[in-house]
Amino acid sequence: MSAFTMDADWLSFDPSPSKPVFQLPAGAVDAHCHVFGPGDVFPYASERKYTPCDAGKDKLFALRDFLGFERNVIVQATCHGADNRALVDALRAADGRARGVATVRPDVTEETLAEMDAAGVRGVRFNFVRRLVDPKPDAYYRGIIERIAPLGWHIVIYFEAADLEERWDFFTSLPTTVVVDHMGRPDVTKPVDGPEFGRFVALMERDNIWSKVSCPERLSKSGPPAYDDVVPFARALVERFPDRVLWGTDWPHPNMKNHMPDDGTLVDFIPRIAPTETLQHKLLVDNPMRLYWQR
């Protein structure tokens, strides 16, 4: 029994998702998902801004198999702060079928970095979403970049569309491969060819920038199950930058407030944004394998 009580307004993941109609290509990777605890084994961080339901590795791997994925990329959840033990435990249990994106501080030890690298961590995440974390000065992140550079890790950044202009100089100065979570959270009520999303497309025109075209459930105003208003944005990126896009379920869907998505329905969203087999294979197999499984 976890010592932590989830937030009163927390929406727990769907325990019985539908079976997708869309058949994933062989070797497909869910390139954005999380593990939460269990809190009695891997306690949640004291500085967290939310307390989730428990959602451990066994449930994640069961979902992977049910939906038809071969592999996962597990992203450190902000509720665990810079304590990556739950992440590393899941990677070790995955028998080579998972890679990880960690959260570290500038004072992380060489021993800890080497341990995470051996377990399968291949990147670090910088979160700039103020309702989830307290963003730090640029020098803080540059200190981390210096620490991970010898390992060849990349950077994942999470921000909201309104913050891109302010952070532009920092983001465009990053020396590694940079993966943007969830298309930089565009305002899908604005035109896909308008100036706000155009700024994000301009960021993507830099060869080192990738994007996850995930989380229609977070971005949509038209709502489930179709999330129609998100399709033009994701499809524009998949078709324009087919070699630098990734997709993930975002299970167990932290901090959803108005509904909990059906993971099977989310998988069926994929052919609407990647309409050809070639685009689907790049999105789900070629790109994540190139980024996460080169070694």
Residues 64, 76, 132, 249: what is their CA dihedral angle, to the nearest 10 degrees?
-20
Q: How far is CA 185 from the centre of its chain?
A: 12
Q: Phi-psi bin for 102: left (phi > 0), alpha (psi -120 to 50), beta?
A: beta
The H-or-E segment that residue 245 falls in is strand 245-246
Question: Is residue 58 annotated as part of the catalytic site, yes or no?
Answer: no
Options 30, 54, 117, 250, the catalytic residue: 250
In three-state secondary structure terms, 295 is coil
In three-state secondary structure terms, 34 is coil
Task: Report CA-CA distances (Å) from 60 to 56, 74, 120, 215, 228.
Answer: 7, 10, 17, 17, 27
How many other CB atoms are found less than 10 A from the CB of residue 92? 14
CA distance 172 to 151: 21
User: What is the set of active-site residues?
Assistant: 250
